[in-house]
């Protein structure tokens, strides 16, 4: 540790830096554990240059805590299973990306089970030694900031937690829990309540409902279960309504044949939440001779997750693959705590869990609950509309196996990429480590090809295993709602997940069974499956659990492909064919709405001539609409509410088109709005009524209506919603008198190319770097994004120095 004088000088240096001093005093502890320099450039981007891996984490943890302390701290409290201890029994917590809200008690019981010491030990033990140092360094740098804040060094900052009892110093294990929690976003953590409350339903009455006194045991019929799930998807809602829509992304990788000068380019555009701990944080990590990578990370991950360097750039989108499977257990009729496996009964593991609860008088009480596991994983009970769809009867029960709960390689995947030195090495590491939890990947590099790989962690359940092992009839019931999720017979050992020779671990598909593509022109993904990564070379023949083929693409995917095709042949009116970096930026933020291309002319020609009253006024606004979702777009809100009513929020297909979907022309079908249908006319009337009820004029420019949910309301936000076929996304709930409060959408955006000096990148953090209203970088980047002012991401030393707004050195 620093001696007292050195510590005092360092505290002064940090305070001066926070006040905007360009050159605060430095102090280095001789032989100290950490030594790192943090340089902030305009809009609050930290450039962290360190002498060791631990120091790199230390600088990152300190800089991150400056900007987003309270948001991450609350999530760390949650993953420790201590929400009830600090916030009481009546609160709740939402994992924003998957939409799951659990009360504090259920949340604590789930995370005590899911992320306890036993669960995180494999990740801790497997993490590369260098990134164990980074992880410990992050915790130490983060803790240093907490100590300073509590000592009064940063007055006014982090008011939401500065004096709270839940702001405490963290350990490296808290970081490993955070990595683990992120891996489970698209799998186990979707079922928090179903796992936390699972217990045997000891009797079922004639109605098939639990808790009746009848001795007659009768399962709900498959038809009853199907109807119940259709009416109330419950946790499956993440897969049916959210995945690939709000929790989505866009990305292109361009090879030499797609650009005017033969250079490679990359566009990355994740659509992550604008609130919560799954926001993205922009930084630059430099450890000479080891790492020099810039880009964005989810909160609490001290490695670049989407970014670039002089050798390559990459991005991600949420994959269509599933990362878990369900098993139907056949129970011992004399003991619901035993299940059959290869002719013998096994015990269901009973796990007593104890949590502390803060009562209304401030005292702490202790509560206990027993949770359960089979050898596959946690037991769960899923009810929908009061019916136990996946029940725990005297005869059957259900267990979830989560491939990402077994994934101890997530941090190693990104750490290795951060240290890679070529596109070829990046691609090789993708297949060797197989640590990507739930995203597709594209990448390219200077003079390189465009690469796509859907190499995420997916249960090795080929279609042949479904034929052999599906648990009927429940497998078919589940397929009707979430096709691709396997429900297998848990009583047979030959129904365990398979293993591939090229997989680094058993039970998941190896890289040879995952979709990949390498081309000289382009690849893309927009959260649909791998099938049309490039329509000139469709990818087919993969297991259904990885994705669907020859099915309707989202309107957003159609927009992404057609705008690429039109730019490459020059038919989009933007000049000579193919891309330059400015043209890539212009196309990707053009905010065009695909369904306007497919249906606006039909509405104006067929519905509007006979319209009267409010509908005539709405038609007058639509007649002025340019088919985009920009600030000055008049009529955009009428179209959005019309399509919200018409599609019920679905972003593909529909039976309201004159030309239906065809697998022979998937990019351009379905199309041509069938305005003769009563449903179309009814939806138009409903959309007009929704705008009228909001109080906004039908011809109100979109920029006067659409604002950030969580920053400053005087900032207009451009962009459209998924269900209307926007590529440039600004997603919100239905229109109200407050307008559209954008809560999801474009988040971190990067456009990257290379010249003889190395990487050239420009981009945005759309919601700005900090969640602390007292921070000068709470809204500044949002204003730049609103104005579409692309900013160079300072990467080279001269660029960083020219754009520097503060610098400080940390030692310990």
430-477 pLDDT tens trace: 999 999 999 999 999 999 999 999 999 999 999 999 999 999 999 999
Q: Are 13 and 26 in contact (CB under 8 A)?
A: yes
Q: Are 565 and 587 in contact (CB under 8 A)?
A: no
DSSP 536-586: TS------TTT---SSPPBHHHHHHHHHHHHHHHTTTSSSSSSB-HHHHHH
- Chain segment 272-313, per-residue pLDDT in tens: 999 999 999 999 999 999 999 999 999 999 999 999 999 999
User: For the whole model, what pTM was predicted?
Assistant: 0.95
Cα 54–Cα 58–Cα 64 angle in degrees, nearest 5: 140
Hunting for tokens 């259920």 — which residue is that? 106
Q: Which residues pair with 441 in a beta bridge?
A: 316, 453
Q: Which residues pair with 339 in a beta bridge?
A: 331, 346
Using CA atoms, how far apart are residues 559 and 572, in angstroms rounded to an integer?
12
At 202, the pLDDT band (50, 70, 90 cuts) reads low
Mean pLDDT of 331-341: 95
Hunting for tokens 């199907």 — which residue is that? 226
Q: Which residue has the higher pLDDT, 735 or 209?
A: 735
Using CA atoms, how far apart are residues 459 and 323, in angstroms rounded to an integer?
6
Q: Which residues participate in catalysis according to the annotation?
A: 249
Mean pLDDT of 251-264: 98
What element of type H or E holds 329?
strand 324-332
Of the candidates 464, 413, 466, 451, the residue with the CA atom closest to the CA atom of residue 530 = 451
- Chain segment 150-183, per-residue pLDDT in tens: 999 999 999 999 999 999 999 999 999 999 999 9
- Chain segment 354-412, per-residue pLDDT in tens: 999 999 999 999 999 999 999 999 999 999 998 999 999 999 999 999 999 999 999 99
Of the candidates 620, 637, 649, the residue with the CA atom closest to the CA atom of residue 695 = 637
Residue 260, pLDDT score: 98
Using CA atoms, how far apart are residues 748 and 343, in angstroms rounded to an integer?
53
Using CA atoms, how far apart are residues 710 and 721, in angstroms rounded to an integer?
18
Using CA atoms, how far apart are residues 63 and 141, in angstroms rounded to an integer?
8
Question: Does the structure show a pLDDT above 70 at 17?
Answer: no
Decide: helix, strand or coil at residue 371. strand
Question: Does the structure show a pLDDT above 90 at 57?
Answer: yes
Using CA atoms, how far apart are residues 592 and 559, in angstroms rounded to an integer?
8
Q: Where are the domains of the chain?
A: 591-726
Residue 9, pLDDT score: 36
Decide: helix, strand or coil at residue 707. strand
Using CA atoms, how far apart are residues 789 and 762, in angstroms rounded to an integer?
10
Using CA atoms, how far apart are residues 54 and 63, in angstroms rounded to an integer?
14
- Chain segment 72-117, per-residue pLDDT in tens: 999 999 999 999 999 999 999 999 999 999 999 999 999 999 999 9
Q: Residues near 616 by Cβ (< 8 Å), separated by ≥ 6?
A: 608
Q: Is the dihedral angle over the CA atoms 551, 182, 128, 138 positive or is it negative?
A: positive
**Backbone φ and ψ of 540, nearest 5°:** -140, 165
Q: Which residues of 661-684 are buried (b: 16+ CB within 10 A; e: fewer)?
A: beeeebeebbbebbbeeeebbebb
Using CA atoms, how far apart are residues 153 and 162, in angstroms rounded to an integer?
11
Q: Residues near 653 by Cβ (< 8 Å), separated by ≥ 6?
A: 552, 661, 670
Of the candidates 513, 692, 511, 495, the residue with the CA atom closest to the CA atom of residue 613 = 692
Q: Are 706 and 730 in contact (CB under 8 A)?
A: yes
Overall size of the chain counted in residues: 812
Decide: helix, strand or coil at residue 535. coil
Question: Does the structure show a pLDDT above 70 at 27?
Answer: no
Q: CATH class for domain 591-726?
A: mainly alpha
**Backbone φ and ψ of 745, nearest 5°:** 135, -160
Of the candidates 631, 253, 612, the residue with the CA atom closest to the CA atom of residue 442 = 253
Q: Are 300 and 78 in contact (CB under 8 A)?
A: no
At 197, the pLDDT band (50, 70, 90 cuts) reads very high
Residue 206, pLDDT score: 38
> What's the chain's average pLDDT?
94
Decide: helix, strand or coil at residue 791. strand
- Looking at 188-341, list the stretches that DSSP marks H as alpha helix, in order from N- to C-terminal side: 192-196, 222-231, 237
Q: Are 36 and 56 in contact (CB under 8 A)?
A: yes
Torsion of CA 171, 175, 177, 178, to 10 degrees: 140
- Percent of the chain scoring above 90 in pLDDT: 92
- Chain segment 742-781, per-residue pLDDT in tens: 999 999 999 999 999 999 999 999 999 999 999 999 999 9
Residue 221, pLDDT score: 94
Question: Does the structure show a pLDDT above 90 at 4?
Answer: no
Mean pLDDT of 28-41: 81
- Looking at 290-388, list the stretches that DSSP marks H as alpha helix, in order from N- to C-terminal side: none
**How far from 648 is each of 241, 640, 731, CA to CA, in Å?**
10, 11, 14
């Amino acid at each position: 540790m620093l001696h007292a004088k050195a510590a005092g000088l360092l505290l002064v240096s940090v305070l001066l830096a926070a006040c905007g001093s360009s050159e605060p005093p430095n102090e280095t502890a001789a032989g100290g554990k950490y030594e790192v320099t943090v340089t902030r450039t305009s809009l609050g981007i930290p450039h962290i240059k360190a002498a060791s891996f631990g120091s790199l984490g230390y600088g990152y943890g300190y800089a991150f805590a400056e900007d987003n302390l309270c948001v991450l701290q609350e999530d760390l409290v949650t993953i420790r299973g201590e929400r009830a201890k600090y916030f009481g029994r009546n609160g709740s917590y939402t994992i924003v990306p998957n939409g799951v809200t659990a009360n504090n008690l259920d949340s604590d019981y789930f995370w005590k089970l899911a992320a306890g010491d036993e669960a995180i030990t494999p990740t801790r033990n497997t993490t590369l030694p260098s990134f164990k140092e980074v992880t410990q360094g992050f915790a130490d740098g983060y803790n240093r900031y907490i100590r300073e804040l509590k000592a009064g060094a940063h007055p006014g900052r982090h008011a939401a937690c500065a004096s709270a009892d839940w702001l405490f110093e963290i350990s490296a294990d808290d970081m490993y829990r955070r990595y683990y929690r992120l891996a489970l976003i698209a799998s186990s953590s979707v079922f928090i309540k179903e796992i936390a409350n699972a217990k045997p339903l000891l009797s079922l009455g004639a109605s098939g409902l639990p808790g009746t006194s009848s001795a007659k045991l009768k399962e709900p019929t498959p038809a009853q279960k199907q109807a119940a799930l259709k009416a109330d998807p419950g946790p499956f809602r993440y897969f049916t309504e959210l995945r690939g829509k709000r929790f989505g992304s866009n990305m292109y990788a361009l090879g030499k044949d797609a650009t005017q000068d033969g250079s490679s380019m990359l566009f990355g555009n994740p659509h992550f939440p604008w609130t919560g701990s799954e926001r993205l944080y922009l930084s630059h990590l430099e450890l000479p001779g080891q790492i020099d990578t810039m880009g964005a990370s989810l909160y609490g991950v001290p490695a670049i997750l989407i970014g670039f360097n002089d050798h390559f750039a990459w991005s991600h989108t949420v994959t269509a693959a599933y990362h878990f499977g369900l098993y139907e257990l056949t129970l011992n009729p004399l003991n619901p705590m035993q299940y059959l496996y290869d002719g013998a009964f096994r015990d269901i593991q009973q796990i007593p869990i104890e949590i502390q609860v803060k009562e209304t008088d401030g005292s702490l009480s202790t509560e206990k609950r027993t949770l359960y596991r089979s050898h596959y994983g946690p037991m769960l009970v899923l009810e929908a509309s009061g019916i136990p769809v996946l029940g725990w009867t005297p005869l059957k029960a259900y267990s979830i196996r989560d491939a990402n709960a077994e994934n101890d390689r997530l941090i190693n995947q990104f750490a290795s990429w951060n240290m890679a030195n070529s596109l070829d090495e990046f691609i090789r590491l993708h297949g060797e480590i197989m640590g990507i939890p739930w995203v597709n990947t594209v990448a390219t590099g200077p003079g390189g090809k465009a690469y796509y790989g859907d190499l995420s962690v997916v249960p090795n359940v080929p279609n042949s295993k479904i034929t052999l092992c599906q648990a009927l009839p429940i497998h078919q019931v589940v397929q009707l709602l979430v096709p691709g999720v396997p429900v297998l017979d848990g009583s047979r050992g030959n129904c365990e997940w398979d293993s591939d020779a090229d997989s680094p671990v058993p039970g998941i598909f190896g890289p040879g069974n995952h979709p990949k593509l390498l081309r000289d022109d382009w690849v893309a993904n927009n959260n649909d499956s791998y099938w049309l990564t490039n329509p000139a070379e469709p990818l087919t023949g993969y297991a259904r659990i990885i994705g669907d083929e020859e099915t309707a693409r989202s309107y957003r995917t159609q927009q992404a492909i057609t705008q690429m095709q039109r730019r490459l042949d020059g038919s989009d009116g933007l000049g000579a064919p193919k891309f330059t970096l400015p043209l890539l930026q212009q196309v990707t933020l053009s905010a065009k709405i695909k369904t306007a291309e497919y249906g606006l002319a039909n509405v104006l020609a067929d519905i509007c001539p006979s319209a009267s009253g409010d509908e005539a006024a709405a038609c007058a606004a639509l007649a002025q609409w340019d088919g985009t979702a920009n600030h000055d777009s008049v009529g955009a809100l009428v179209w959005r509410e019309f399509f919200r009513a018409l599609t019920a929020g679905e972003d593909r297909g529909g039976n309201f088109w004159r030309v239906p979907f065809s697998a022979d022309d998937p990019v351009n079908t379905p199309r041509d709005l069938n305005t003769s249908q009563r449903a179309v006319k009814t939806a138009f009337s409903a959309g007009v009524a929704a705008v009228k009820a909001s109080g906004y004029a039908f011809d109100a420019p979109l920029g006067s209506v659409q604002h950030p949910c969580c920053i400053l309301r005087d900032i207009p936000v451009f962009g459209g919603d998924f269900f209307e076929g926007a590529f440039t996304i600004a997603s919100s709930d239905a229109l109200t008198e407050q307008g559209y409060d954008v809560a999801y959408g474009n988040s971190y955006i990067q456009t990257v190319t290379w010249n003889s000096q190395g990487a050239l990148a420009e981009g945005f953090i759309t919601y700005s770097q900090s969640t602390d209203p007292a921070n000068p970088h709470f809204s500044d980047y949002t204003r730049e994004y609103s104005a579409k002012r692309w900013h160079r991401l300072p990467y080279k030393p001269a660029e960083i120095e020219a754009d520097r707004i503060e610098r400080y050195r940390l030692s310990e």
